[in-house]
Structure formats: C-alpha cells, structure tokens
Amino acid sequence: MGFPPLGEKAKIEVAWKKRKGSELSVFKGRQARLNHAIFKALEDQSPMAIWDIFRQVTSIKGTKRTKYAVVNSRVKDLEAGNYLLKAGIRDTKQGNKTVLFRTTAKAKLALALTSKNIDDFLNEIDEEAASKILLILTPQRTTLQIPAEQLAESSTSEKPLN
C-alpha cells in the first residue's frame, strides 16, 4: 500500500455510485456499494480468498473502514444468491486451507447491466441477439394438446346446464 512514488499520480478508485441502468436487487440498499466493490475486486483478479477480497475492497475509496466480518458475511450472502462461486482451495501461511471465490456469469451480467443504459444496450445489439433475449424474458405459454378424438368425445358427453 503506502504512497505512490513522487511524480506519479496514484490511481484512485472510487466506490460505486448510482448508475444509468435499471436498479438490480443486488445493487439496492445498504449492501449495494460493498457488493459492487466485491464484484470489481473479483473482476480484476479472480479467484480470491475472502481475506484477499477484503484487502482489495478496503483499498477502494468509500469502503476503507469496512470490517472483515462484514465482507465475510457479504461474500457468503452473494454465494447463496449464486453471484459468487467456490473456485477452489488454497493453503494459507498458517497451514490452514481457505476457499477461493470467483464471480459467476450472473454477477458479470449484473455489472454489465448497471454500467449500460437500456437504450444504449438496445441500440448495440442485432436482431438475432434481441430475439434470443426476448425468448428468455417472455414466459413460455404451454398449450394443452388434446387429441381430436378426445375433444369430440368430451363435447358429446357434456350435459347442458339447466
């Protein structure tokens, strides 16, 4: 850490601010800034242990005073929400084993959707990609397939209501 050498400007990374895109549940509320910082840390260097994620997150302006326990619980919650995935195990200096985490495609998509405006996104995609997205987003209607014989039998067996 420390100060940059004289004559060089330090790269100052700022914590998450509200973006143009639609507000996703992972980026709402009190945990939004920390979730974004965790995703950014894992985006740069993946996979990482929780301690390494903590070191990266606390180096970002706006999240410097974050405690390890808070980052730990947030990583566990993001794993439960399928935003993070266990990628392996690494030995620590103390001789123990620690779990390594990486982002899933769901987390990468959430980052991409918050950084883009929906109008810009729609202007950039082609017709084929738009149709694939539409198939995913629209609920599939299942129609009940009834053979013609059964349909004829059921219409003749019905009794009129009095």
Mean pLDDT of 71-95: 93
Place of tokens 């103390």: 94
Confidence of residue 54 (pLDDT cuts 50, 70, 90): very high
pLDDT value for 143: 56
pLDDT reported for residue 69 = 96
Q: What CA–CA distance (Å, rounded) separates 99 from 84?
A: 12
Average pLDDT over residues 146-155: 59
Q: How far apart are CA 7 and CA 16, in angstroms?
A: 28
Q: What class, spelled out in words, does domain 25-156 have in CATH? A: mainly alpha
Q: Which of 52-56, 90-94, 116-120 has the lowest mean pLDDT?
A: 116-120
Higher pLDDT, 156 or 38: 38
Short-list 103, 75, 47, CA closest to 112: 103
Whether the pLDDT of residue 62 is over 80: the answer is yes
The predicted model gives 85-99 an average pLDDT of 91
* Torsional sign, CA 116, 84, 58, 26: positive
Is the pLDDT higher at 127 or at 4? 127
72-80 mean pLDDT: 95
pLDDT of residue 13: 53
Give the mean model confidence (pLDDT) for residues 47-51.
94
